[in-house]
């Protein structure tokens, strides 16, 4: 798993390395600039050659022979300092480079100042305003080095306009302009993945984004990715994300911790990667799939009970049940109101079926050997649902907490408590997993919803929610955040080369609830938090494996292929 560092953690790491005498800030800046330049030529090898009329691009540009040209937009901090290093390195490769600076050179921090002065001794630096940018010759490459991890407020309107003035390279009949962002497209907050608004009017052509951030084709960040590269608007704005090593040693402990929950103050990206290298799937997530250990009979792999809705509302429960069974639960029983028994009987074979009248009859259909419940999908918001939730949560194994049945609470099982979330949190315990989408999350934790939490990141919001509920919370989305009480958190990103837009389909969440229960209900299951991470990963793998046209039912049927693919 790759550790994601906040701006403060990145700064602390840099400071510690510099104070230890292992490296100077200037050397780090040089390596950062070099890393960006290397990434540019790796991404666009064609830029290594001069623009010539012999190439398609050159012919379009109507030039006989020309030097490649870059526009480097620099800001008032060290991100701008990286920009001046990049300008110098591109010039050394024969490029024509136009540089622009926002702010007063005399107020640049020392390392940035040194690189500015070195560049400015031989080259002009223009003020970063739209008019100057527009007047400059059309470049092959725009380097956005205005703001990085030091962004503290919305981008000022004049910088906004200047960032947009460079053109997006998509104009017809003109050669492409590639945009590379240093650390991040300026304006993106790397802790939250949000664009800090207030910098200018919303441009209708940009849809839900204000015209404050120019999307990058390539974003190059240093040492470790940051949460904002994966959260919220980050993936849509960053283009391709490249992480370059700048020789900051740092604490590799978290990266080594495969199979244990994250430390309280750390966040990790859920992926089969160990110390920066790909990890064979049979080690992760394979080690968290109990049946892969070739041991046990069906009762060792748990009995999951899934609640279904009434007549005509059973699909969600059936999909969750089938997912739980496919991913490895030994037995799965669907329980439904008596009126829906016939409908469900027509649709189920391997999944067992029982009718239950009300919460007081739960004991008739679920004995003490039930190790997992899924409750909520399709059930409807009602006192009946609340009653079932309470009776399921009351099932405890005395003082042996680790033997409490796992309870996956989703959909209406959550929304039924919107009027009084506290009455739910009195019952939730450490073996519960709440799997809300944004709307359900806002109903249970209104003060932590995006509209109310201000500058707090989605990660910190889910951490606070997990503390309040005393259980694991998985907040869904392309940026799924998982947190447990005490601060441990991870981020599962269906982004970049793991994008899974086809998952935005009705019922996909029901399948996820079933996967979590099916993996965690086994008597041989590992730590609950780790199992939830694995379920989130398998869910997206199934979507990616199936691809376009996916509907929720396909996820479960694709699972055997995914499990085989990871070497089980």
Ligand X SMILES: NC(=O)C1=CN([C@@H]2O[C@H](COP(=O)(O)OP(=O)(O)OC[C@H]3O[C@@H](n4cnc5c(N)ncnc54)[C@H](OP(=O)(O)O)[C@@H]3O)[C@@H](O)[C@H]2O)[C@@H](O)CC1
Ligand Y SMILES: Nc1ncnc2c1ncn2[C@@H]1O[C@H](COP(=O)(O)OP(=O)(O)O)[C@@H](O)[C@H]1O
Residues 364-403, one symbol each (x = binds ligand Y by CB under 6 A, - = not), give: ----------------------------------------
Residue 533: other Cβ atoms inside 10 A: 28
Nearest to K ion of 181, 336 (CB atom): 181
Tell me: does residue 512 bind ligand X (CB under 6 A): no
Stretch that binds ligand Y, among 288-296, 330-338, 503-511, 560-568 (CB under 6 A): 503-511
Angstrom distance (rounded) from CA 54 to CA 334: 68
Partner interacting with residue 58 (select from K ion, ligand X, ligand Y, none; CB below 5-8 Å by kind): none
Tell me: does residue 28 bind ligand X (CB under 6 A): yes
Residues 424-443, one symbol each (x = binds ligand Y by CB under 6 A, - = not), give: -------------x------
Partner interacting with residue 555 (select from ligand X, K ion, ligand Y, none; CB below 5-8 Å by kind): none
What's the Cα-to-Cα distance from 150 to each of 339, 457, 545, rounded to whole Å?
60, 16, 39
From 35, 285, 330, 509, residue interacting with ligand Y (rule: CB under 6 A): 509
Structure tokens at 495: 């982004």
Angstrom distance (rounded) from CA 315 to CA 378: 7
Stated as kind and residue range, the H or E segment containing 87 is: helix 78-92
Nearest to K ion of 186, 233 (CB atom): 186
From 78, 224, 457, 520, residue interacting with ligand X (rule: CB under 6 A): 78
Tell me: does residue 35 bind ligand X (CB under 6 A): no
Strand, coil or helix: 490: strand
Stretch that binds ligand Y, among 14-22, 104-112, 185-193, 494-502 (CB under 6 A): 494-502
Nearest to ligand Y of 160, 510 (CB atom): 510
Nearest to ligand Y of 296, 310 (CB atom): 310
Strands in 120-232 per DSSP E: 125-127, 141-145, 178-182, 218-222
Please report, in range form, the residues annotated as the binding site.
78-82, 144, 148-154, 183, 186, 316, 378, 437, 476-480, 509-510
Structure tokens at 61: 């540009």
Preceding omega of 285 cis (within 30 degrees of 0): yes
Tell me: does residue 515 bind ligand Y (CB under 6 A): no
Angstrom distance (rounded) from CA 505 to CA 550: 8
Nearest to ligand X of 157, 296 (CB atom): 157
From 58, 139, 154, 413, residue interacting with ligand X (rule: CB under 6 A): 154
Helices (H), 251-314: 253-256
Angstrom distance (rounded) from CA 103 to CA 120: 14
To the nearest whole angstrom, how small is the minimum distance from the Cβ of residue 497 to K ion? 22
Query: Can you spell out the DSSP letters for 157-180?
Result: HHHHHHHHHT--S--TTS---EEE
Partner interacting with residue 494 (select from ligand X, ligand Y, K ion, none; CB below 5-8 Å by kind): ligand Y
What are the φ/ψ torsions at residue 282 (nearest 5 degrees)? -70, -15
Stretch that binds ligand Y, among 44-52, 227-235, 420-428, 509-517 (CB under 6 A): 509-517
Do the bridges between strand 69-74 and strand 96-101 make them parallel or antiparallel, or are there none, so unpaired? parallel
Angstrom distance (rounded) from CA 318 to CA 308: 7
To the nearest whole angstrom, how small is the minimum distance from the Cβ of residue 270 to ligand Y? 12
Decide if 530 contacts 518 (C-beta within 8 A): no
Strand order in the sheet with 218-222: 125-127, 96-101, 69-74, 141-145, 178-182, 218-222, 240-244
Nearest to ligand X of 158, 300 (CB atom): 158
Decide if 328 contacts 568 (C-beta within 8 A): no
- The count of residues in the chain is 568
Nearest to ligand Y of 459, 494 (CB atom): 494
- DSSP classification of residue 397: -
- DSSP classification of residue 340: G
Residue 327: other Cβ atoms inside 10 A: 31
From 471, 481, 508, 535, residue interacting with ligand Y (rule: CB under 6 A): 508
Partner interacting with residue 144 (select from K ion, ligand X, ligand Y, none; CB below 5-8 Å by kind): K ion
Tell me: does residue 182 bind K ion (CB under 5 A): yes
To the nearest whole angstrom, how small is the minimum distance from the Cβ of residue 25 to K ion? 18
Residues 447-486, one symbol each (x = binds ligand Y by CB under 6 A, - = not), give: -----------------------------xxx-x------
Decide if 90 contacts 83 (C-beta within 8 A): no
From 144, 160, 343, 460, residue interacting with K ion (rule: CB under 5 A): 144
Please report, in range form, the residues annotated as the binding site for (6S)-NADPHX.
78-82, 148-154, 183, 316, 378, 437, 510
Angstrom distance (rounded) from CA 213 to CA 163: 8
Tell me: does residue 75 bind ligand X (CB under 6 A): yes
Angstrom distance (rounded) from CA 139 to CA 136: 8
* Residues engaged in binding ligand Y (CB under 6 A): 411, 437, 476-478, 480, 494, 500-501, 503-504, 506-510, 512
Q: Which residues bind K ion (CB under 5 A)?
A: 144, 148, 181-182, 186
The binding site for ligand X (CB under 6 A) comprises 10-11, 14, 28-29, 32, 75-80, 82, 109, 147-156, 182-183, 222, 246
């Amino acid at each position: 798993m790759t550790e994601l560092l906040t701006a403060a953690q990145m700064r602390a790491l840099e400071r510690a390395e510099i104070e230890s005498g292992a490296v100077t800030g200037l050397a780090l800046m040089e390596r950062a600039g070099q890393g960006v330049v290397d990434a540019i030529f790796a991404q666009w090898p064609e830029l290594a050659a001069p623009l010539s009329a012999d190439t398609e691009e050159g012919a379009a540009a109507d030039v006989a022979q020309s030097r490649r040209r870059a526009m480097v937009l620099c800001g008032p901090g060290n991100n701008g300092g990286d920009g001046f290093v990049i300008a110098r390195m591109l010039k050394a490769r024969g490029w024509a480079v136009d540089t622009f600076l926002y702010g007063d050179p005399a107020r640049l921090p020392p390392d940035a100042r040194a690189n500015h002065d070195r560049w400015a001794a031989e080259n002009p630096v223009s003020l970063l305003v739209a008019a100057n940018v527009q007047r400059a010759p059309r470049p092959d490459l725009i380097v956005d080095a205005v703001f990085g991890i030091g962004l503290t407020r919305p981008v000022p309107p004049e910088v906004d306009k200047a960032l947009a003035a460079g053109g997006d390279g998509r104009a017809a009949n003109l050669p492409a302009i590639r945009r590379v962002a240093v650390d991040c497209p300026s304006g993106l907050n790397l802790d939250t993945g949000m664009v800090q608004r207030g910098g200018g009017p919303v441009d209708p052509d940009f849809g839900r984004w204000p015209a404050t951030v120019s999307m990058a084709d390539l974003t190059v960040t240093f040492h470790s990715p940051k949460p904002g590269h994966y959260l919220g608007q980050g993936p849509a704005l960053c283009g391709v994300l490249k992480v370059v090593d700048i020789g900051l040693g740092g604490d590799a402990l978290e990266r080594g911790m495969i199979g244990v929950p994250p430390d309280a103050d750390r966040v990790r990206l859920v992926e089969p990667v160990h110390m920066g290298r790909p990890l064979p799937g049979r080690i992760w997530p394979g080690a968290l799939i109990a049946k892969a250990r070739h041991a046990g009979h069906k009762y060792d792999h748990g009995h999951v009970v899934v609640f279904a809705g009434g007549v005509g509302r059973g699909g969600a429960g059936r999909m969750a049940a089938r997912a739980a069974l496919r991913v490895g639960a030994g037995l799965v029983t669907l329980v439904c109101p008596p009126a829906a028994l016939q409908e469900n009987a027509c649709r189920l074979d391997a999944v067992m079926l029982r009718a239950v009248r009300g919460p007081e009859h739960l004991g008739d259909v679920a004995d003490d050997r039930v190790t997992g419940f899924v409750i909520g999908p399709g059930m409807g918001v009602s006192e009946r649902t609340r009653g079932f939730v309470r009776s399921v949560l009351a099932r405890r194994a005395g003082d042996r907490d680790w033997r409490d049945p796992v309870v996956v609470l989703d959909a209406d099982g959550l929304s039924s408590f919107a009027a009084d979330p506290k009455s739910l949190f009195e019952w939730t315990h450490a073996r519960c997993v709440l799997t809300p989408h944004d709307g359900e999350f806002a109903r249970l934790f209104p003060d932590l919803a995006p509209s109310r939490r201000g500058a707090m990141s989605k990660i910190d919001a889910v951490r606070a929610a997990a503390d309040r509920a005393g259980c694991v919370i998985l907040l869904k989305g392309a940026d799924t955040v998982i947190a447990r009480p005490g601060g441990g958190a991870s981020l599962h990103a269906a982004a970049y080369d793991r994008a899974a837009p086809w998952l935005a389909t009705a019922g996909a969440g029901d399948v996820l609830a079933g996967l979590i229960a099916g993996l965690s209900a086994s008597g041989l299951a590992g730590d609950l938090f780790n199992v939830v991470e694995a379920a989130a990963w398998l869910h997206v793998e199934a979507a990616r494996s199936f691809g376009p046209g996916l509907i929720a039912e396909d996820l479960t049927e694709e699972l055997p292929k995914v499990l085989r693919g990871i070497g089980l």
